[in-house]
Structure 1
C-alpha cells in the first residue's frame, strides 16, 4: 500500500470525458462501486464454526490486482492505497470493452 494523500483529485465540474464525449446527462446517476478482494466456497458447517480470529483463505494471491466493480460489472483493476488514513484504490488498468459489456449482457 502507498500513501495517496498528495494524489490529484478529479474536479467536481468535469462533464467531458477524454475524446470529447459529453456525460452531463449521466453525471448525477448514482451507481454502486465495490472492490473485490477475492472469494471462496465454503460449506455452511465451516461458516458456522468461524470465530473471532478465524482466517478464511481466498482464491486470489496477495500480489494480484483487485477487481473494481460498478453495479456488479467489472470496469477496472487496481491496488489498495491509503488516503489520509483511509483505504483507497488506485486504478491500474481499465477492463476491456468486451469484459465490461459481458457483465451488462449477463443481466439483460
Structure 2
C-alpha cells in the first residue's frame, strides 16, 4: 500500500468487529507510540561521562527490526524510512494478539 487513500477507513474496519460500538467509544483516545532502537545498561558514572561525540553501543544488531510500542506494549516490528525528509517507520510484522495482551497484563 503506497498511498494512504487505499487504506481501510476506521469506521469501515470497526463496523465489522464484534462489539464495534464499544470500539467506537475508544477510537478517539490518544495513545503514545514509540519506536525502540535498542537499549543498554550504564552505570551512573558512565552516564555522567557522556559528552558530544560519545557513542553508546546498543543491544540490537543494525539489521534487526525495531520494536514499535504503544503505551509501552509491543504491537509491531518495523524498519526506518524517510518521508519528506522526516523519519517514519514501515510496519513489517504485527505482533500477535496474545503478545500484545501479555504486555497489557504485565503492566496491570
TM-score tier by shorter-chain length is 0.7 to 0.9
Work out whether 1:54 is the aligned partner of 2:50.
no
Change (3 A) 1:12 1:98: closer
Equivalent-residue separation in structure 2 for 1:82 and 1:107 (angstroms) = 32
Residue 54 of structure 1 aligns to a residue whose secondary structure is coil
Residue 13 of structure 2 aligns to a residue whose secondary structure is coil
Q: Which runs of 5+ in 1 are unaligned?
A: 1-5
On the 8 A contact 1:74/1:99 being kept in 2, the answer is yes
**Range that drifts further, 22-31 or 81-90:** 22-31
TM-score, length basis structure 1: 0.85
What is the Cα deviation at residue 15 of structure 1?
Answer: 1.5
Which one has more relative contact order, counting CA pairs under 8 Å at least 6 apart?
1
Change (3 A) 1:62 1:18: farther
Work out whether 1:17 is the aligned partner of 2:13.
yes
Equivalent-residue separation in structure 2 for 1:19 and 1:63 (angstroms) = 38
Residue 74 of structure 2 aligns to a residue whose secondary structure is strand
Residue 81 of structure 2 aligns to a residue whose secondary structure is strand
TM-score, length basis structure 2: 0.85
Please show how residues 92-103 of structure 1 align to structure 2 within 5 Å.
92-103=92-103
On the 8 A contact 1:15/1:27 being kept in 2, the answer is no
On the 8 A contact 2:14/2:24 being kept in 1, the answer is no
